[in-house]
Structure 1
Amino acid sequence: MFMKTYLQEMLKRKDLLFYLVKSGLKAEHRNSYLGYFWWLLDPLLNVLVYYFLVVIILNRGGPDYPVYLVIGLVVWRWISTTINSSAKSILRYKSIINQVYLPKSIFPVAFTFTQLFNFLFGLIVIAIFLLFFGVKPTWHILYLPVLIIIQTVFLLAVGLFLGYITVFIRDIDNVLSHIMRLFFYASPIIWEGSRLPEKYSWAVDYNPIAIIVSSYRDILMYGRTPDLIALAIILVASLIVGTYMISYYNKHEHKIIKAL
Protein backbone atom coordinates (compact mmCIF):
# COMPACT_ATOMS: atom_id res chain seq x y z
CA MET A 1 0.00 0.00 0.00
CA PHE A 2 2.75 2.42 0.97
CA MET A 3 4.69 1.36 -2.13
CA LYS A 4 1.70 2.25 -4.33
CA THR A 5 1.37 5.64 -2.66
CA TYR A 6 5.05 6.34 -3.20
CA LEU A 7 4.85 5.45 -6.89
CA GLN A 8 1.79 7.69 -7.26
CA GLU A 9 3.77 10.51 -5.65
CA MET A 10 6.54 9.98 -8.20
CA LEU A 11 4.02 10.12 -11.05
CA LYS A 12 2.67 13.40 -9.70
CA ARG A 13 6.19 14.78 -9.99
CA LYS A 14 6.62 13.77 -13.64
CA ASP A 15 6.88 17.44 -14.63
CA LEU A 16 9.86 17.75 -12.29
CA LEU A 17 11.36 14.61 -13.82
CA PHE A 18 11.07 16.11 -17.31
CA TYR A 19 12.60 19.35 -16.06
CA LEU A 20 15.54 17.56 -14.43
CA VAL A 21 16.22 15.59 -17.61
CA LYS A 22 15.97 18.71 -19.77
CA SER A 23 18.16 20.81 -17.48
CA GLY A 24 20.69 17.99 -17.24
CA LEU A 25 20.99 17.87 -21.02
CA LYS A 26 21.46 21.63 -21.23
CA ALA A 27 23.97 21.75 -18.36
CA GLU A 28 26.39 19.28 -19.93
CA HIS A 29 27.53 21.63 -22.69
CA ARG A 30 26.13 24.95 -21.51
CA ASN A 31 29.43 26.86 -21.68
CA SER A 32 30.94 25.15 -24.73
CA TYR A 33 31.22 26.72 -28.17
CA LEU A 34 30.04 23.61 -29.99
CA GLY A 35 27.11 22.98 -27.65
CA TYR A 36 25.05 19.90 -28.46
CA PHE A 37 27.45 18.95 -31.26
CA TRP A 38 29.61 17.46 -28.50
CA TRP A 39 27.03 14.66 -28.17
CA LEU A 40 28.32 13.43 -31.52
CA LEU A 41 31.91 14.64 -31.32
CA ASP A 42 32.72 13.23 -27.87
CA PRO A 43 32.17 9.54 -28.71
CA LEU A 44 33.89 10.05 -32.05
CA LEU A 45 37.02 11.48 -30.38
CA ASN A 46 36.94 8.62 -27.89
CA VAL A 47 37.08 6.15 -30.75
CA LEU A 48 39.98 7.96 -32.42
CA VAL A 49 42.04 7.96 -29.21
CA TYR A 50 41.63 4.23 -28.55
CA TYR A 51 42.03 3.36 -32.24
CA PHE A 52 45.38 5.15 -32.18
CA LEU A 53 46.37 3.28 -29.01
CA VAL A 54 45.32 -0.22 -30.05
CA VAL A 55 45.87 -0.21 -33.82
CA ILE A 56 48.69 2.29 -34.36
CA ILE A 57 50.68 1.80 -31.15
CA LEU A 58 49.95 -1.84 -30.24
CA ASN A 59 49.42 -3.00 -33.84
CA ARG A 60 46.29 -5.01 -33.01
CA GLY A 61 42.77 -5.17 -34.35
CA GLY A 62 41.42 -6.41 -37.68
CA PRO A 63 39.64 -4.62 -40.54
CA ASP A 64 36.34 -4.50 -38.64
CA TYR A 65 37.95 -3.24 -35.47
CA PRO A 66 36.78 0.42 -35.86
CA VAL A 67 33.14 -0.75 -35.83
CA TYR A 68 33.88 -3.14 -32.96
CA LEU A 69 35.51 -0.28 -31.06
CA VAL A 70 32.82 2.36 -31.62
CA ILE A 71 30.04 0.05 -30.42
CA GLY A 72 31.97 -0.83 -27.27
CA LEU A 73 32.91 2.75 -26.43
CA VAL A 74 29.48 4.28 -27.08
CA VAL A 75 27.74 1.65 -24.94
CA TRP A 76 30.39 1.99 -22.24
CA ARG A 77 30.01 5.77 -22.24
CA TRP A 78 26.31 5.40 -21.47
CA ILE A 79 27.03 2.95 -18.66
CA SER A 80 29.86 4.90 -17.01
CA THR A 81 28.28 8.37 -17.22
CA THR A 82 24.97 7.08 -15.90
CA ILE A 83 26.51 5.28 -12.94
CA ASN A 84 28.81 8.17 -12.02
CA SER A 85 26.10 10.85 -12.31
CA SER A 86 23.40 8.78 -10.58
CA ALA A 87 25.69 8.13 -7.62
CA LYS A 88 25.99 11.89 -7.02
CA SER A 89 22.43 12.80 -8.03
CA ILE A 90 20.87 13.20 -4.58
CA LEU A 91 23.87 15.06 -3.19
CA ARG A 92 23.78 17.42 -6.16
CA TYR A 93 20.25 18.55 -5.33
CA LYS A 94 20.51 18.52 -1.55
CA SER A 95 19.59 22.23 -1.33
CA ILE A 96 16.22 21.49 -2.95
CA ILE A 97 15.66 18.31 -0.96
CA ASN A 98 16.13 20.13 2.34
CA GLN A 99 13.47 22.70 1.44
CA VAL A 100 10.72 20.78 -0.34
CA TYR A 101 9.40 17.24 0.02
CA LEU A 102 10.19 15.19 -3.07
CA PRO A 103 10.54 11.47 -3.69
CA LYS A 104 14.32 11.22 -3.50
CA SER A 105 14.46 8.36 -6.00
CA ILE A 106 13.40 10.76 -8.73
CA PHE A 107 16.94 12.19 -8.92
CA PRO A 108 18.86 9.03 -9.92
CA VAL A 109 15.97 8.19 -12.27
CA ALA A 110 16.30 11.63 -13.92
CA PHE A 111 20.05 11.26 -14.43
CA THR A 112 19.56 7.80 -15.94
CA PHE A 113 17.13 9.15 -18.54
CA THR A 114 19.39 12.13 -19.24
CA GLN A 115 22.20 9.78 -20.24
CA LEU A 116 19.76 7.66 -22.24
CA PHE A 117 19.17 10.66 -24.51
CA ASN A 118 22.93 11.10 -24.85
CA PHE A 119 23.24 7.46 -25.88
CA LEU A 120 20.67 7.94 -28.65
CA PHE A 121 23.04 10.48 -30.20
CA GLY A 122 25.83 7.94 -29.79
CA LEU A 123 23.78 5.55 -31.93
CA ILE A 124 24.10 8.07 -34.75
CA VAL A 125 27.89 7.77 -34.51
CA ILE A 126 27.58 3.96 -34.62
CA ALA A 127 25.32 4.20 -37.67
CA ILE A 128 27.91 6.39 -39.43
CA PHE A 129 30.63 3.80 -38.79
CA LEU A 130 28.41 0.94 -39.96
CA LEU A 131 27.67 2.83 -43.18
CA PHE A 132 31.28 3.89 -43.77
CA PHE A 133 32.70 0.37 -43.27
CA GLY A 134 29.91 -1.32 -45.21
CA VAL A 135 28.45 -3.28 -42.31
CA LYS A 136 24.77 -3.89 -43.04
CA PRO A 137 22.59 -4.75 -40.03
CA THR A 138 20.26 -7.71 -40.50
CA TRP A 139 16.75 -8.32 -39.16
CA HIS A 140 18.40 -8.85 -35.76
CA ILE A 141 18.35 -5.06 -35.36
CA LEU A 142 14.76 -5.59 -34.18
CA TYR A 143 16.32 -6.70 -30.89
CA LEU A 144 17.86 -3.25 -30.43
CA PRO A 145 14.89 -1.52 -28.66
CA VAL A 146 14.57 -4.53 -26.34
CA LEU A 147 18.27 -4.36 -25.49
CA ILE A 148 18.07 -0.61 -24.81
CA ILE A 149 15.14 -1.20 -22.43
CA ILE A 150 17.04 -3.96 -20.60
CA GLN A 151 20.11 -1.75 -20.22
CA THR A 152 17.98 1.17 -19.00
CA VAL A 153 16.35 -1.01 -16.33
CA PHE A 154 19.80 -2.29 -15.32
CA LEU A 155 21.17 1.25 -15.00
CA LEU A 156 18.09 2.41 -13.08
CA ALA A 157 18.62 -0.34 -10.53
CA VAL A 158 22.33 0.44 -10.13
CA GLY A 159 21.64 4.20 -10.02
CA LEU A 160 18.97 3.89 -7.33
CA PHE A 161 21.31 1.82 -5.17
CA LEU A 162 24.34 4.07 -5.57
CA GLY A 163 22.31 7.27 -5.27
CA TYR A 164 21.10 6.17 -1.85
CA ILE A 165 24.28 4.68 -0.43
CA THR A 166 26.47 7.60 -1.53
CA VAL A 167 24.47 9.93 0.71
CA PHE A 168 25.72 8.03 3.74
CA ILE A 169 29.12 6.86 2.50
CA ARG A 170 30.62 9.80 0.63
CA ASP A 171 33.81 7.85 -0.08
CA ILE A 172 31.85 5.72 -2.55
CA ASP A 173 32.21 8.57 -5.04
CA ASN A 174 36.01 8.35 -4.84
CA VAL A 175 36.13 4.55 -5.01
CA LEU A 176 33.64 4.39 -7.86
CA SER A 177 36.06 5.74 -10.45
CA HIS A 178 38.46 2.87 -9.71
CA ILE A 179 35.66 0.30 -9.79
CA MET A 180 34.49 1.60 -13.16
CA ARG A 181 38.04 1.45 -14.50
CA LEU A 182 38.21 -2.20 -13.38
CA PHE A 183 34.96 -2.99 -15.22
CA PHE A 184 36.26 -1.17 -18.29
CA TYR A 185 39.25 -3.48 -18.57
CA ALA A 186 37.29 -6.56 -17.44
CA SER A 187 34.83 -6.10 -20.32
CA PRO A 188 35.45 -6.37 -24.07
CA ILE A 189 35.25 -2.62 -24.68
CA ILE A 190 38.53 -2.08 -26.54
CA TRP A 191 39.78 -5.66 -26.67
CA GLU A 192 38.20 -8.82 -28.04
CA GLY A 193 36.88 -11.27 -25.46
CA SER A 194 38.46 -14.25 -27.15
CA ARG A 195 41.90 -12.87 -26.37
CA LEU A 196 41.48 -13.43 -22.63
CA PRO A 197 43.27 -16.41 -21.10
CA GLU A 198 40.88 -19.28 -20.40
CA LYS A 199 41.17 -18.90 -16.63
CA TYR A 200 39.84 -15.32 -16.88
CA SER A 201 36.93 -16.09 -19.19
CA TRP A 202 34.52 -15.73 -16.27
CA ALA A 203 35.20 -11.97 -16.37
CA VAL A 204 33.19 -11.89 -19.59
CA ASP A 205 30.79 -14.79 -19.04
CA TYR A 206 29.36 -13.47 -15.76
CA ASN A 207 29.93 -9.75 -16.25
CA PRO A 208 26.63 -7.96 -17.02
CA ILE A 209 28.43 -5.07 -18.72
CA ALA A 210 30.33 -7.49 -20.97
CA ILE A 211 27.10 -9.30 -21.82
CA ILE A 212 25.33 -6.06 -22.73
CA VAL A 213 28.22 -4.76 -24.85
CA SER A 214 28.55 -8.09 -26.67
CA SER A 215 24.79 -8.10 -27.31
CA TYR A 216 25.00 -4.77 -29.14
CA ARG A 217 27.78 -6.16 -31.33
CA ASP A 218 25.77 -9.32 -32.03
CA ILE A 219 22.80 -7.24 -33.17
CA LEU A 220 24.52 -4.44 -35.07
CA MET A 221 27.77 -5.94 -36.29
CA TYR A 222 27.55 -9.72 -36.54
CA GLY A 223 23.87 -10.08 -37.46
CA ARG A 224 23.06 -12.76 -34.92
CA THR A 225 20.77 -13.27 -31.95
CA PRO A 226 22.29 -12.13 -28.63
CA ASP A 227 22.39 -14.32 -25.53
CA LEU A 228 18.70 -13.94 -24.62
CA ILE A 229 18.97 -16.07 -21.50
CA ALA A 230 21.78 -13.93 -20.07
CA LEU A 231 19.87 -10.74 -20.94
CA ALA A 232 16.71 -12.13 -19.32
CA ILE A 233 18.67 -12.84 -16.13
CA ILE A 234 20.02 -9.26 -16.12
CA LEU A 235 16.49 -7.89 -16.65
CA VAL A 236 14.90 -9.97 -13.90
CA ALA A 237 17.70 -9.24 -11.43
CA SER A 238 17.50 -5.52 -12.25
CA LEU A 239 13.73 -5.46 -11.78
CA ILE A 240 14.09 -7.17 -8.41
CA VAL A 241 16.82 -4.77 -7.24
CA GLY A 242 15.01 -1.73 -8.65
CA THR A 243 11.71 -2.67 -6.99
CA TYR A 244 13.46 -3.32 -3.69
CA MET A 245 15.26 0.02 -3.85
CA ILE A 246 12.03 1.93 -4.56
CA SER A 247 10.49 0.23 -1.53
CA TYR A 248 13.61 1.03 0.51
CA TYR A 249 13.49 4.70 -0.51
CA ASN A 250 9.85 4.79 0.54
CA LYS A 251 10.63 3.51 4.03
CA HIS A 252 13.93 5.28 4.68
CA GLU A 253 13.82 8.63 2.88
CA HIS A 254 13.74 10.46 6.21
CA LYS A 255 17.28 9.20 6.81
CA ILE A 256 18.45 10.94 3.65
CA ILE A 257 17.27 14.33 4.94
CA LYS A 258 19.10 13.77 8.22
CA ALA A 259 22.30 12.73 6.44
CA LEU A 260 22.26 15.75 4.14
Structure 2
Amino acid sequence: MINEHRFFANFGKYRYLLIQLVKKDIQVRYRNSMLGIFWSFLEPLLTMIIMTIIFAFIFKRSIPNFPVYYLIGRVTFGLFQMGTMGSMTSIISNVHILKSVYVPKYLYSLAAVLSNFFTFLLSLIILFAVMIATNVQFTIYIIFASLPVIVLLIMTLGVGLILATVTVFFRDIEHLYGVFVMLLMYASAVFYPANIIPPQYQIILTLNPVYAIIDCLRTVLLNGTLYNPLTLLYATVFALVSLVVGMALFYKYQNKFLLHL
Protein backbone atom coordinates (compact mmCIF):
# COMPACT_ATOMS: atom_id res chain seq x y z
CA MET A 1 0.00 0.00 0.00
CA ILE A 2 1.03 3.64 -0.52
CA ASN A 3 2.48 5.37 2.49
CA GLU A 4 0.38 8.53 2.27
CA HIS A 5 2.11 10.19 5.23
CA ARG A 6 5.53 9.75 3.63
CA PHE A 7 4.22 10.88 0.25
CA PHE A 8 2.84 14.18 1.53
CA ALA A 9 5.77 14.70 3.92
CA ASN A 10 8.14 14.50 0.95
CA PHE A 11 5.90 16.89 -0.95
CA GLY A 12 6.31 19.52 1.77
CA LYS A 13 10.03 18.87 2.18
CA TYR A 14 10.80 19.21 -1.53
CA ARG A 15 8.32 21.98 -2.30
CA TYR A 16 11.07 24.44 -3.27
CA LEU A 17 12.63 21.87 -5.61
CA LEU A 18 9.23 21.29 -7.22
CA ILE A 19 8.93 25.02 -7.94
CA GLN A 20 12.37 25.01 -9.54
CA LEU A 21 11.50 21.98 -11.67
CA VAL A 22 8.34 23.72 -12.89
CA LYS A 23 10.35 26.85 -13.77
CA LYS A 24 12.97 24.73 -15.54
CA ASP A 25 10.33 22.93 -17.59
CA ILE A 26 8.77 26.22 -18.69
CA GLN A 27 12.16 27.73 -19.56
CA VAL A 28 13.23 24.68 -21.57
CA ARG A 29 9.95 24.69 -23.49
CA TYR A 30 10.44 28.27 -24.71
CA ARG A 31 14.25 28.40 -24.69
CA ASN A 32 14.72 28.55 -28.47
CA SER A 33 11.66 30.69 -29.16
CA MET A 34 11.99 34.39 -29.93
CA LEU A 35 8.57 35.12 -28.45
CA GLY A 36 9.12 32.86 -25.46
CA ILE A 37 6.20 32.48 -23.10
CA PHE A 38 4.05 34.76 -25.28
CA TRP A 39 3.43 31.70 -27.44
CA SER A 40 1.12 30.59 -24.63
CA PHE A 41 -1.12 33.47 -25.70
CA LEU A 42 -0.52 33.39 -29.45
CA GLU A 43 -0.80 29.64 -30.08
CA PRO A 44 -4.44 29.21 -28.97
CA LEU A 45 -5.37 32.55 -30.54
CA LEU A 46 -3.85 31.70 -33.93
CA THR A 47 -5.31 28.19 -33.99
CA MET A 48 -8.71 29.64 -33.05
CA ILE A 49 -8.54 32.06 -35.97
CA ILE A 50 -7.56 29.31 -38.40
CA MET A 51 -10.19 26.88 -37.13
CA THR A 52 -12.83 29.61 -37.21
CA ILE A 53 -12.04 30.37 -40.84
CA ILE A 54 -12.22 26.67 -41.73
CA PHE A 55 -15.17 25.44 -39.66
CA ALA A 56 -17.26 28.42 -38.58
CA PHE A 57 -19.19 28.47 -41.86
CA ILE A 58 -19.78 24.71 -41.77
CA PHE A 59 -21.07 24.69 -38.18
CA LYS A 60 -22.51 28.20 -37.98
CA ARG A 61 -26.03 26.92 -37.37
CA SER A 62 -24.98 24.31 -34.80
CA ILE A 63 -22.41 26.45 -32.96
CA PRO A 64 -23.48 30.11 -32.61
CA ASN A 65 -20.17 31.24 -31.07
CA PHE A 66 -17.59 28.99 -32.66
CA PRO A 67 -14.44 30.87 -31.46
CA VAL A 68 -15.35 30.48 -27.78
CA TYR A 69 -16.72 26.96 -28.29
CA TYR A 70 -13.48 25.90 -29.94
CA LEU A 71 -11.17 27.68 -27.49
CA ILE A 72 -12.78 26.02 -24.46
CA GLY A 73 -12.26 22.62 -26.04
CA ARG A 74 -8.77 23.49 -27.26
CA VAL A 75 -7.28 24.76 -24.02
CA THR A 76 -8.98 22.07 -21.94
CA PHE A 77 -7.84 19.19 -24.11
CA GLY A 78 -4.45 20.88 -24.47
CA LEU A 79 -3.83 20.67 -20.72
CA PHE A 80 -4.66 16.97 -20.64
CA GLN A 81 -2.65 16.21 -23.79
CA MET A 82 0.49 18.18 -22.96
CA GLY A 83 0.36 17.40 -19.25
CA THR A 84 0.15 13.64 -19.73
CA MET A 85 2.73 13.59 -22.51
CA GLY A 86 5.12 15.69 -20.44
CA SER A 87 4.63 13.44 -17.43
CA MET A 88 5.07 10.35 -19.60
CA THR A 89 8.67 11.30 -20.49
CA SER A 90 9.51 13.03 -17.20
CA ILE A 91 11.43 10.09 -15.74
CA ILE A 92 13.40 9.00 -18.78
CA SER A 93 14.33 12.60 -19.67
CA ASN A 94 15.77 13.26 -16.20
CA VAL A 95 17.74 10.05 -15.88
CA HIS A 96 21.05 11.92 -15.38
CA ILE A 97 19.68 13.64 -12.28
CA LEU A 98 18.05 10.48 -10.93
CA LYS A 99 21.39 8.66 -11.11
CA SER A 100 23.35 11.37 -9.34
CA VAL A 101 21.14 12.68 -6.53
CA TYR A 102 18.11 11.52 -4.58
CA VAL A 103 14.88 13.31 -5.40
CA PRO A 104 11.38 11.87 -4.97
CA LYS A 105 10.78 10.66 -8.50
CA TYR A 106 7.13 11.65 -8.65
CA LEU A 107 8.19 15.31 -8.46
CA TYR A 108 9.31 15.17 -12.09
CA SER A 109 5.90 14.02 -13.26
CA LEU A 110 4.15 16.51 -11.02
CA ALA A 111 6.35 19.33 -12.31
CA ALA A 112 5.54 18.42 -15.92
CA VAL A 113 1.81 18.60 -15.18
CA LEU A 114 2.05 21.85 -13.21
CA SER A 115 4.13 23.60 -15.88
CA ASN A 116 1.45 22.78 -18.43
CA PHE A 117 -1.20 23.92 -15.97
CA PHE A 118 0.59 27.28 -15.86
CA THR A 119 0.35 27.45 -19.66
CA PHE A 120 -3.33 26.55 -19.38
CA LEU A 121 -3.92 29.47 -17.00
CA LEU A 122 -2.25 31.84 -19.45
CA SER A 123 -4.46 30.49 -22.24
CA LEU A 124 -7.52 31.37 -20.16
CA ILE A 125 -6.61 35.05 -20.59
CA ILE A 126 -7.10 34.65 -24.34
CA LEU A 127 -10.30 32.70 -23.76
CA PHE A 128 -11.83 35.39 -21.55
CA ALA A 129 -10.69 38.10 -23.96
CA VAL A 130 -12.45 36.35 -26.85
CA MET A 131 -15.54 35.87 -24.68
CA ILE A 132 -15.65 39.60 -24.04
CA ALA A 133 -15.03 40.40 -27.71
CA THR A 134 -17.88 38.12 -28.80
CA ASN A 135 -20.31 39.48 -26.19
CA VAL A 136 -20.62 36.32 -24.12
CA GLN A 137 -22.65 37.03 -20.98
CA PHE A 138 -20.75 36.31 -17.77
CA THR A 139 -23.05 34.77 -15.17
CA ILE A 140 -22.69 33.73 -11.54
CA TYR A 141 -22.21 30.15 -12.71
CA ILE A 142 -18.72 30.99 -13.92
CA ILE A 143 -17.46 30.34 -10.38
CA PHE A 144 -18.36 26.68 -10.85
CA ALA A 145 -15.81 26.43 -13.68
CA SER A 146 -13.11 25.93 -11.05
CA LEU A 147 -14.42 22.47 -10.12
CA PRO A 148 -14.01 20.87 -13.59
CA VAL A 149 -10.56 22.48 -13.84
CA ILE A 150 -9.47 20.91 -10.54
CA VAL A 151 -10.84 17.54 -11.67
CA LEU A 152 -8.97 17.90 -14.97
CA LEU A 153 -5.72 18.62 -13.11
CA ILE A 154 -6.16 15.53 -10.92
CA MET A 155 -7.02 13.41 -13.95
CA THR A 156 -3.98 14.64 -15.86
CA LEU A 157 -1.66 13.87 -12.94
CA GLY A 158 -3.16 10.42 -12.42
CA VAL A 159 -2.92 9.39 -16.07
CA GLY A 160 0.52 11.02 -16.22
CA LEU A 161 1.85 8.92 -13.34
CA ILE A 162 0.57 5.75 -15.00
CA LEU A 163 2.22 6.69 -18.29
CA ALA A 164 5.48 7.73 -16.59
CA THR A 165 5.72 4.32 -14.92
CA VAL A 166 4.83 2.23 -17.95
CA THR A 167 7.09 4.21 -20.29
CA VAL A 168 10.21 3.36 -18.26
CA PHE A 169 9.68 -0.32 -19.06
CA PHE A 170 7.98 -0.06 -22.47
CA ARG A 171 9.32 2.82 -24.55
CA ASP A 172 6.92 2.12 -27.42
CA ILE A 173 4.19 3.62 -25.26
CA GLU A 174 5.46 7.06 -26.34
CA HIS A 175 4.51 6.39 -29.95
CA LEU A 176 1.30 4.51 -29.18
CA TYR A 177 0.07 7.22 -26.85
CA GLY A 178 0.67 9.85 -29.51
CA VAL A 179 -1.79 8.02 -31.76
CA PHE A 180 -4.23 7.44 -28.90
CA VAL A 181 -4.31 11.06 -27.81
CA MET A 182 -5.00 12.15 -31.39
CA LEU A 183 -7.97 9.78 -31.55
CA LEU A 184 -9.10 11.02 -28.14
CA MET A 185 -9.10 14.59 -29.42
CA TYR A 186 -11.43 13.63 -32.28
CA ALA A 187 -13.63 11.85 -29.74
CA SER A 188 -13.84 14.95 -27.54
CA ALA A 189 -15.84 17.26 -29.85
CA VAL A 190 -13.18 19.96 -29.68
CA PHE A 191 -14.09 21.60 -32.99
CA TYR A 192 -17.42 20.07 -33.98
CA PRO A 193 -20.87 20.01 -32.32
CA ALA A 194 -21.47 16.91 -30.23
CA ASN A 195 -24.97 16.49 -31.62
CA ILE A 196 -23.69 15.55 -35.08
CA ILE A 197 -22.55 12.20 -33.66
CA PRO A 198 -25.14 9.52 -34.52
CA PRO A 199 -27.15 8.31 -31.48
CA GLN A 200 -25.61 4.84 -31.60
CA TYR A 201 -22.14 6.37 -31.19
CA GLN A 202 -22.97 8.95 -28.53
CA ILE A 203 -21.66 6.44 -25.97
CA ILE A 204 -18.16 7.44 -27.11
CA LEU A 205 -18.69 10.95 -25.79
CA THR A 206 -20.53 9.71 -22.71
CA LEU A 207 -17.61 7.50 -21.65
CA ASN A 208 -14.95 10.10 -22.48
CA PRO A 209 -13.97 11.83 -19.19
CA VAL A 210 -12.08 14.59 -21.02
CA TYR A 211 -15.19 15.45 -23.00
CA ALA A 212 -17.15 15.49 -19.72
CA ILE A 213 -14.84 18.26 -18.48
CA ILE A 214 -15.08 20.16 -21.76
CA ASP A 215 -18.88 19.91 -21.69
CA CYS A 216 -19.03 21.20 -18.11
CA LEU A 217 -16.85 24.19 -18.95
CA ARG A 218 -18.81 25.02 -22.10
CA THR A 219 -22.05 24.90 -20.14
CA VAL A 220 -20.97 27.42 -17.50
CA LEU A 221 -18.77 29.65 -19.66
CA LEU A 222 -20.61 29.72 -22.98
CA ASN A 223 -24.20 28.86 -22.06
CA GLY A 224 -24.22 30.60 -18.68
CA THR A 225 -25.97 27.73 -16.90
CA LEU A 226 -24.95 25.03 -14.45
CA TYR A 227 -23.69 21.73 -15.81
CA ASN A 228 -25.20 18.36 -15.00
CA PRO A 229 -23.69 17.28 -11.64
CA LEU A 230 -23.63 13.67 -12.82
CA THR A 231 -21.35 14.64 -15.70
CA LEU A 232 -18.86 16.19 -13.31
CA LEU A 233 -19.27 13.28 -10.89
CA TYR A 234 -18.31 10.80 -13.59
CA ALA A 235 -15.19 12.79 -14.48
CA THR A 236 -14.33 13.15 -10.78
CA VAL A 237 -14.58 9.41 -10.13
CA PHE A 238 -12.41 8.69 -13.17
CA ALA A 239 -9.86 11.30 -12.05
CA LEU A 240 -9.63 9.97 -8.48
CA VAL A 241 -9.37 6.36 -9.63
CA SER A 242 -6.63 7.25 -12.12
CA LEU A 243 -4.75 9.16 -9.42
CA VAL A 244 -4.92 6.29 -6.93
CA VAL A 245 -3.88 3.76 -9.58
CA GLY A 246 -1.12 6.07 -10.80
CA MET A 247 0.28 6.64 -7.32
CA ALA A 248 0.13 2.94 -6.45
CA LEU A 249 1.77 1.87 -9.71
CA PHE A 250 4.44 4.55 -9.51
CA TYR A 251 5.24 3.83 -5.85
CA LYS A 252 5.45 0.08 -6.48
CA TYR A 253 7.88 0.23 -9.39
CA GLN A 254 9.89 3.42 -8.80
CA ASN A 255 12.79 1.54 -7.17
CA LYS A 256 13.24 -0.43 -10.42
CA PHE A 257 13.37 2.62 -12.66
CA LEU A 258 17.17 2.99 -12.64
CA LEU A 259 17.61 -0.64 -13.67
CA HIS A 260 15.77 0.07 -16.93
CA LEU A 261 17.08 3.56 -17.74
TM-score by length of 2: 0.93
Structure 1's 223 and 108: CA in aligned 2 closer, same or farther, altered over 3 A? same
Q: Which residue of 1 aligns with 2:212?
A: 211
Residue range with higher mean Cα deviation, 224-233 or 37-46: 224-233
Q: Which residue of 2 aligns with 1:107?
A: 108
The aligned runs of 1:61-80 (5 Å cut-off) are 61-62=60-61, 63-80=64-81
Measured in 2, the distance between the counterparts of 1:90 and 1:107 equals 7
- Asked whether the equivalents of residues 160 and 246 of structure 2 are also in contact (C-alpha less than 8 Å), the reply is no
Q: Could you report, residue by residue, the CA deviation over 1:150-181 in whole angstroms, capped at 9, with x for unpaired residues?
A: 11111111111111111111000011111011
Measured in 1, the distance between the counterparts of 2:125 and 2:4 equals 39
Q: Which residue of 2 aligns with 1:90?
A: 91
Measured in 2, the distance between the counterparts of 1:171 and 1:255 equals 18
Q: Which residue of 2 aligns with 1:18?
A: 19
Measured in 2, the distance between the counterparts of 1:179 and 1:66 equals 26
The code of the aligned residue for 2:259 comes to K
SS in 2 for 1:19: helix
- Asked whether the equivalents of residues 17 and 106 of structure 1 are also in contact (C-alpha less than 8 Å), the reply is yes
Cα deviation for residue 5 of structure 1 reads: 1.9
Structure 1's 245 and 76: CA in aligned 2 closer, same or farther, altered over 3 A? closer
Cα deviation for residue 3 of structure 1 reads: 3.7
The code of the aligned residue for 1:61 comes to K
The aligned runs of 1:27-42 (5 Å cut-off) are 27-42=28-43
Measured in 2, the distance between the counterparts of 1:235 and 1:60 equals 30
The code of the aligned residue for 1:252 comes to Y
- Asked whether the equivalents of residues 74 and 190 of structure 2 are also in contact (C-alpha less than 8 Å), the reply is yes
- Asked whether the equivalents of residues 211 and 230 of structure 1 are also in contact (C-alpha less than 8 Å), the reply is yes
The aligned runs of 1:1-260 (5 Å cut-off) are 2-55=3-56, 59-62=58-61, 63-260=64-261
Cα deviation for residue 53 of structure 1 reads: 2.4
Cα deviation for residue 52 of structure 1 reads: 2.5
Measured in 2, the distance between the counterparts of 1:155 and 1:97 equals 23
TM-score by length of 1: 0.94
- Give ranges in structure 2 of 5+ residues lacking alignment: none
Residue range with higher mean Cα deviation, 99-108 or 234-243: 234-243
Cα deviation for residue 247 of structure 1 reads: 3.3
Measured in 2, the distance between the counterparts of 1:70 and 1:247 equals 34
Q: Could you report, residue by residue, the CA deviation over 1:195-227 in whole angstroms, capped at 9, with x for unpaired residues?
A: 111111011111111111111110100011112
Cα deviation for residue 230 of structure 1 reads: 2.4
Measured in 2, the distance between the counterparts of 1:2 and 1:221 equals 42
SS in 1 for 2:222: helix
Q: Could you report, residue by residue, the CA deviation over 1:24-63 in whole angstroms, capped at 9, with x for unpaired residues?
A: 112221221212211100111111222222235xx33344
Residue range with higher mean Cα deviation, 27-36 or 131-140: 27-36
Cα deviation for residue 66 of structure 1 reads: 1.6
SS in 2 for 1:201: helix
Measured in 1, the distance between the counterparts of 2:163 and 2:86 equals 10
Cα deviation for residue 9 of structure 1 reads: 2.2
SS in 2 for 1:89: coil
- Give ranges in structure 1 of 5+ residues lacking alignment: none
Measured in 1, the distance between the counterparts of 2:129 and 2:86 equals 28
Seq. identity, %: 28
Measured in 2, the distance between the counterparts of 1:132 and 1:140 equals 20
Cα deviation for residue 252 of structure 1 reads: 2.4
Cα deviation for residue 236 of structure 1 reads: 2.9
- Asked whether the equivalents of residues 3 and 247 of structure 1 are also in contact (C-alpha less than 8 Å), the reply is no
- Asked whether the equivalents of residues 6 and 250 of structure 1 are also in contact (C-alpha less than 8 Å), the reply is no
